[in-house]
A and B are shown apart, each in its own frame.
Chain A
Amino acid sequence: MDNRNVLGALFMLPAAAILLTFLTYPLGLGVWLGFTDAKIGRGGEWIGFENYEWLWDDSVFRLSIFNTFLYTVVASIVKFALGLWLALLLNRHLPFKSFLRAIVLLPFIVPTVLSAIAFWWIYDAQFSVLSWTLMKLGLIDEYINFLGEPNLARASTITANVWRGVPFVAICLLAGLQTISPALYEAAAIDGATPWQKFRNITLPMLSPIIAVVMTFSVLFTFTDFQLIWVLTRGGPINATHLMATLSFQRAIPGGALGEGAAIAISMIPFLLAAILFSYFGLQRRKWQQGGSDR
């Protein structure tokens, strides 16, 4: 049993079987479904691009594309900024560093839906603790309808997403920061660099490969987010927070239009590919990382 190829194939068999059956095949099936008028309960017939044409004229669909981009771009930028800041803070000489690092990750560990419920409660129109505090401070007159007013709802969902995502970005960037040799900062200090100059000339350039990876993941997961929106707003109010993923679900399962739902889901793919390629170029080994002779 030592023939490499035979053994290799054998070892790969279980993984390949599961993935081909439940991932590759459904992917193709999903694409096919998008070209049919399948409904729950009855099979579908080929209708070509009709779904897509219809969707293109659907204002709700177009709104969901806009929402998805808005949600992704804003949340990702904020997550990156706050995550980087937090990583820089955690990289310092602090007491209880491991403990701090551990509790910082909690929002990311805890099941999304369950923490979303907590936000649901915090955002409640009648009993929100945020509104209560702001009222007591005299900053507002009446309770804020966090999830009931379109733009407020967008801001609230983005905030919840940021809350969940910052730890992931922060911890990954922290790992990256720790690979930068302290001697570089010492050399820079001797060369006369201020903290900002150290950040711009050493930290950022050396961190950029890992930033590319982390943000790609972050963008990917934010773009295809479902849980948070579904729990908090179900896509409302007036479709203001509908993402492509939530719209796809709504049309397909409660709505019963499987073909249409599949078409919405599949139309996410071009955008996802664009995001991956974008960061692939960020991942390219830079000139200064290439070449390398032994000491």
Chain B
Amino acid sequence: MATVKLKQVRKSFGNTEVVHGVDVSIDDAEFVVLVGPSGCGKSTLLRMIAGLEEITEGEIYIGDALVNKIAPKERDIAMVFQNYALYPHMTVFENMAFSMKLAGCSKQEQRERVDEATRILGLGDYLERYPRQLSGGQRQRVAMGRAIVRKPQVFLFDEPLSNLDAKLRVQMRTEIRELHQRLKTTSVYVTHDQIEAMTMADKIVVMNKGNVEQVGSPLDLYDHPANQFVAGFIGSPAMNFLKGVLVTVSAGRAVKFATDRILPAPASAEPDGREVILGVRPEQLLINTLASGESPSTKPGSDEATARQSSVDFESGVEAKVVVIEPTGADTQILCKLAGNDVVVVTRERHTFRPGDLIRLNVQDGNTCLFDPMSGGRL
């Protein structure tokens, strides 16, 4: 069983602790992604699993074996490095066969295993080339081939796609995923890109500043973030955070903002008047089309109109001013100013707004979150 267990793992460089008591459990054949911003400790954690860094405190088990003091080559792992770490003076074939050559395997066996990996990765034409003569994507495949040849218990990936251009990254993502489905080897994958995490992982471990923020399946993290950090990290464009105060209106709970606008909020045990942060994903904001140019504040009796809004229904929505419109073709991102907050709305519909227009936004039922402004935790 190629499981990986991390128990209260800590890492300090000198007197600075960079990884604080991490517990993670990885099952056999699982593809787990460690994701987080730069410097959060995910690479350090991976390197500790690999045996490239000392484990200051805690235990790491690969299979049933405690590997804290065991050298990398004894751990039966293989690693794909961010900068590929291909041996520049060896051909692709020699790169992939290197571990076998060191172990004294016969030329025959080397040939067989390399051919197998080559077939899977489509490297047939490149075996006699040197890394310098390959493109980034090809080098990445050779790096993976080198790992596959070892037939390890666990694959470790250290941000392997960060050096590729966007299009190639998308392609390689799929290839790695297919590879995993084919080989079914336990894999630990480190990245700072949450899209990679979402598309590739069976289980995601979100890290921040040396701590694990949340562990769960991609959709789990997306729909039920444990705190503001996870909510803001997972999902692109990021979730909108609006600061306000909890109120109760006839239609249910709501959050009231500084300018007396309100948006519906999920049911909550928290009392009225509590300061909260409302989290709304861009695609959860619906646009109620409003004739452009209308500016309620210049109309007489507008105060009454806004006061009336806060009373009963949410249907007319909250007013927001369009700042920038970014059409990507498939959808449109609209940056607005809502009650003093910067807000991003994503819609699949085409609109003819222009910067400066006023629109009304409404919130789709369910799925909004409330966070505590101090701790960031979900309420």
A interface, CB within 8 angstroms of B: 181, 183-184, 186-193, 197, 201-202, 205-206, 286-295
List the B side residues contacting A192 at CB < 8 Å: 73, 99, 102-103
Per-residue CB contact flags for chain B residues 55-92 toward chain A (1 = under 8 Å, else 0) read: 00000000000000001110001110101010111100
A interface: dominant SS = helix
Most buried by B among A188, A191, A205, A294: A191
Give the docked Cα–Cα distance between A46 and B72 (Å): 74
Give the docked Cα–Cα distance between A295 and B137 (Å): 8
Give the docked Cα–Cα distance between A215 and B153 (Å): 45
Pick 22 A–B contacts, CB within 8 A, sort by A: A181-B83, A183-B81, A187-B79, A187-B81, A188-B87, A189-B52, A189-B72, A190-B72, A190-B73, A191-B102, A191-B146, A191-B150, A192-B73, A192-B99, A193-B102, A201-B98, A289-B88, A290-B130, A291-B132, A295-B135, A295-B136, A295-B163
List the A side residues contacting B134 at CB < 8 Å: 293
Per-residue CB contact flags for chain B residues 194-206 toward chain A (1 = under 8 Å, else 0) read: 0000000000000
List the B side residues contacting A183 at CB < 8 Å: 81, 83, 85
Partner of A190, one of B78, B89, B135: B78
Question: Does B50 interact with chain A (Cβ within 8 Å)?
Answer: yes
CB–CB B73/A292 < 8 A: no
CB–CB B132/A190 < 8 A: no
Give the docked Cα–Cα distance between A295 and B165 (Å): 9
Question: Does B133 interact with chain A (Cβ within 8 Å)?
Answer: yes
List the A side residues contacting B73 at CB < 8 Å: 189-193
List the B side residues contacting A287 at CB < 8 Å: 130
CB B91 to nearest CB in A, in angstroms, measures: 8
List the A side residues contacting B88 at CB < 8 Å: 206, 288-289
List the B side residues contacting A197 at CB < 8 Å: 102
List the B side residues contacting A193 at CB < 8 Å: 73, 102
Give the docked Cα–Cα distance between A206 and B85 (Å): 13
CB–CB B85/A187 < 8 A: yes
CB–CB A290/B81 < 8 A: no
Query: Closest residue to A198 on the B side, CB-wise?
Result: B102
CB A52 to nearest CB in B, in angstroms, measures: 45
Per-residue CB contact flags for chain B residues 118-156 toward chain A (1 = under 8 Å, else 0) read: 000000000000111111100000000010001000000
Partner of B99, one of A181, A191, A286, A290: A191
Report the interface size for chain B: residues with CB under 8 A from the other chain: 31
List the A side residues contacting B81 at CB < 8 Å: 183, 186-187
CB A208 to nearest CB in B, in angstroms, measures: 9
CB A184 to nearest CB in B, in angstroms, measures: 6
CB–CB A184/B136 < 8 A: no
List the B side residues contacting A205 at CB < 8 Å: 89
List the A side residues contacting B83 at CB < 8 Å: 181, 183
List the A side residues contacting B78 at CB < 8 Å: 190
Give the docked Cα–Cα distance between A35 and B225 (Å): 92
List the B side residues contacting A202 at CB < 8 Å: 87
| A190-B98 in contact given A287-B130, A289-B132 (Cβ < 8 Å) | no
List the B side residues contacting A288 at CB < 8 Å: 88-90, 130-132
Most buried by A among B73, B131, B146: B73
List the B side residues contacting A294 at CB < 8 Å: 135
| A286-B89 in contact given A186-B81, A293-B133 (Cβ < 8 Å) | yes
CB B99 to nearest CB in A, in angstroms, measures: 4
CB B105 to nearest CB in A, in angstroms, measures: 11
CB A143 to nearest CB in B, in angstroms, measures: 52
Query: Closest residue to B138 on the A side, CB-wise?
Result: A293
Give the docked Cα–Cα distance between A288 and B132 (Å): 7
Give the docked Cα–Cα distance between A190 and B150 (Å): 10
CB–CB B135/A293 < 8 A: yes
CB–CB B87/A292 < 8 A: no
Query: Closest residue to A185 on the B side, CB-wise?
Result: B85
Give the docked Cα–Cα distance between A202 and B90 (Å): 10
List the A side residues contacting B89 at CB < 8 Å: 205-206, 286, 288
Question: From residue 101 to 121 of chain B, which have CB atoms closer than 8 A to chain A?
Answer: 102-103
Give the docked Cα–Cα distance between A201 and B90 (Å): 9
Instruction: Beyond A190-B51, A293-B133, list 13 extra A-B contacts (CB 8 Å).
Output: A181-B83, A186-B81, A188-B87, A190-B77, A192-B102, A193-B102, A197-B102, A290-B132, A291-B130, A291-B132, A291-B133, A293-B135, A295-B135
Which 3 A-B pairs give the minimum distances between C-beta atoms?
A191-B99, A192-B73, A183-B85
CB A30 to nearest CB in B, in angstroms, measures: 42
Query: Closest residue to B150 on the A side, CB-wise?
Result: A191
Per-residue CB contact flags for chain B residues 332-363 toward chain A (1 = under 8 Å, else 0) read: 00000000000000000000000000000000
CB A128 to nearest CB in B, in angstroms, measures: 47
CB–CB A181/B132 < 8 A: no
Most buried by B among A201, A202, A288, A293: A288
Give the docked Cα–Cα distance between A281 and B50 (Å): 40
